């Protein structure tokens, strides 16, 4: 363990860039060449080998020039937790495999629910990630809708597939793809999700939601759930939470708030108000492994009514018999779609006990401030176009400088230019930025979650973008 700590600490301290720029084909032979049937003499030798098959070319999220996806540098108290939870190896299904750990997870669920304002009946469970949390929320919503349909005389005797056919989920066109994937896994199909248009700031348009829900009801469909996103993956936009809650209630739909990204705002003194209204949700997804600076994996699903978790309860005689529930022995497996499960809560526990919630919030605030300052830089520069104002900690923009004739290059040229820039930066390893499309056009994206990144770092990344763009245009002209 000590050798490993030294190796990784040296790596993190000395990383010259966020990435080596290596291509998959150049790394594959080293991995393929390892003889897995012949062990090395000792740990030191294995760590030396690991350098060449992994550590040398890994992508380092703590590096200030990493500005691509929603990955965070991790806080050290959480790493301490990671080592301990793996060493003890508690499994969060039943008390007899997780004594103490179950109580710690429950305290952190309570803490999160209180900060979200979900009320005294709230409960929840840790999951492996936002996609899993979203899936469980929609599973609960589906089972609740089916239970309601079964009490409806008009649906008496109908089989499950027939009942599922009419269920619909409403989510903005900027919502996360795991909503559609969940619908597919829940037997509803991708088309059960009705995409709702967004306003200019990429928030779900409330008039469009109202119209979509009314039209769906008129077709005889049933609104199973409305998903509001608190922090869209591309734009950081937060849907109007209270208005969405009102519309969901009018239609008897479950309101799920996907706060996988924005959830960390509950620790921010300065930006917590952005989540106002989230307490009206029936369920909320929070990813600790994004804006709480925790190592992967760490996420939770919270519900306003603890009893709703009963939609995933299954009693197994060997594990969690009903008699245990009667004896009030606490367990988390009754609330989870997993069985054996990591004690990820310990990482957040030690983070709160060592840094405090304010310490986490200050890191997030720094990222939000940096994104705002970067947004001002980019907006003031005529060579860049932005897709939406900066919200939370992302910026979606594209490089579109003037061509030789003094007019901005055309949209197609800008598409090619921005695709090239992203690839060129990655191949150089000097900086990593993400890409996305907006209305069919190719854009670049900064996702900022690193409190150590400075505005000067961002200026340097923008300079690298310009240089890669200029090289491309010079090459295209030649």
Residue spans of beta strands (DSSP E) within 43-122? 66-67
Task: Please report how many Cα atoms fall inside a 13 Å half-sphere around the Cα of residue 453, on the Cβ side.
Answer: 35
Residue with the CB atom nearest ligand PLP in the bound state: 130
- Phi, psi at residue 440, to the nearest 5°? 80, -5
Of 68, 65, 50, nearest in space to 10 by CA: 50
Q: Cβ of residue 289: shortest distance to ligand PLP, in angstroms?
A: 6
- Phi, psi at residue 368, to the nearest 5°? -65, -45
Q: Rank residues 289 and 442 by Cβ distance to ligand PLP and give the closer one.
A: 289
Q: Rank residues 293 and 399 by Cβ distance to ligand PLP and give the closer one.
A: 293
Q: Cβ of residue 96: shortest distance to ligand PLP, in angstroms?
A: 29
Q: Rank residues 395 and 417 by Cβ distance to ligand PLP and give the closer one.
A: 395
Contact in structure between 167 and 224 (CB atoms under 8 Å)? yes
Task: Please report how many Cα atoms fall inside a 13 Å half-sphere around the Cα of residue 30, on the Cβ side.
Answer: 16
Q: Rank residues 241 and 462 by Cβ distance to ligand PLP and give the closer one.
A: 241
Binding region for ligand PLP (CB under 6 A): 70, 129-131, 134, 176, 178, 229, 231-233, 258, 260-261, 287, 299
Of 240, 176, 236, 230, nearest in space to 207 by CA: 240
d(CA 421, CA 437): 14
Q: Cβ of residue 445: shortest distance to ligand PLP, in angstroms?
A: 12
Q: Cβ of residue 317: shortest distance to ligand PLP, in angstroms?
A: 33
Q: Rank residues 70 and 333 by Cβ distance to ligand PLP and give the closer one.
A: 70
**Of how many residues is the chain composed?**
478
Q: Rank residues 262 and 469 by Cβ distance to ligand PLP and give the closer one.
A: 262
Q: Cβ of residue 179: shortest distance to ligand PLP, in angstroms?
A: 8
Residue 359 belongs to what H/E stretch?
Answer: helix 356-379
Q: Cβ of residue 148: shortest distance to ligand PLP, in angstroms?
A: 27
Tokens 């909320």 correspond to what residue?
Answer: 284
């Amino acid at each position: 363990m000590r050798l490993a700590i030294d190796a990784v600490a040296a790596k993190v301290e000395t990383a010259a860039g966020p990435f080596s720029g290596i291509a998959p084909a150049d790394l594959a032979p080293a991995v393929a060449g390892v003889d897995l049937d012949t062990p090395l003499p000792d740990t030191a030798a294995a760590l030396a080998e690991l350098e060449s098959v992994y550590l040398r070319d890994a992508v380092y999220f703590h590096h200030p020039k990493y500005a691509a996806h929603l990955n965070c540098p991790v806080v050290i108290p959480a790493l301490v937790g990671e080592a301990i939870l793996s060493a003890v190896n508690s499994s969060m299904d039943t008390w007899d495999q997780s004594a103490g750990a179950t109580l710690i997870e429950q305290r952190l669920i309570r803490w999160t629910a209180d900060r979200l304002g979900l009320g005294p009946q709230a409960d929840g469970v840790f999951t492996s990630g936002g996609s899993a949390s979203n899936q469980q929320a929609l599973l609960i919503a589906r089972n609740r809708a089916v239970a309601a349909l079964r009490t409806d005389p008009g649906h008496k005797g109908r089989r499950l597939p027939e009942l599922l056919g009419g269920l619909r989920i409403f989510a903005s066109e900027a919502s996360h793809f795991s909503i559609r994937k969940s619908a597919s896994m829940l037997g509803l199909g991708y088309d059960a999700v009705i995409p709702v248009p967004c306003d200019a700031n990429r928030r779900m348009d409330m008039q469009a939601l109202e119209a979509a829900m009314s039209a769906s009801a008129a077709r005889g469909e049933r609104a199973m759930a409305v998903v509001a996103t608190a922090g869209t993956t591309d734009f950081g936009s937060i849907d109007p939470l209270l208005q969405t809650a009102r519309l969901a209630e009018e239609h008897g739909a479950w309101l799920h708030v996907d706060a996988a990204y924005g959830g960390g705002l509950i620790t921010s003194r300065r930006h917590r108000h952005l989540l106002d209204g989230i307490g009206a949700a029936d369920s909320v997804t929070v990813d600790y492994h994004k804006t709480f600076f925790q190592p992967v994996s760490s996420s939770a699903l919270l519900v306003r009514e603890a009893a709703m978790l009963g939609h995933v309860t299954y009693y197994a005689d060997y594990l969690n018999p009903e008699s245990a529930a009667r004896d009030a022995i606490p367990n988390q497996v009754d609330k989870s779609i997993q069985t054996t499960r990591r004690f990820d809560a310990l990482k957040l526990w030690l983070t709160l006990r060592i840094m405090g919630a304010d310490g986490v919030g200050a890191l997030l605030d720094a990222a939000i401030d940096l994104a705002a300052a970067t947004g001002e830089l980019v907006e003031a520069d005529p060579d860049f176009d932005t897709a939406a104002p900066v919200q939370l900690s992302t910026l979606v923009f594209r490089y579109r400088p003037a061509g030789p004739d003094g007019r901005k290059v055309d949209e197609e040229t800008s598409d090619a230019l921005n695709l090239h820039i992203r690839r060129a930066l990655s191949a150089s390893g000097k900086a990593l930025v993400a890409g996305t499309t907006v209305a069919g056009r190719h854009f670049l994206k900064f996702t900022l979650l690193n409190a150590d990144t400075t505005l000067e770092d961002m200026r340097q990344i923008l300079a690298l973008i310009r240089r890669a763009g200029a090289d491309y245009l010079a090459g295209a002209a030649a």
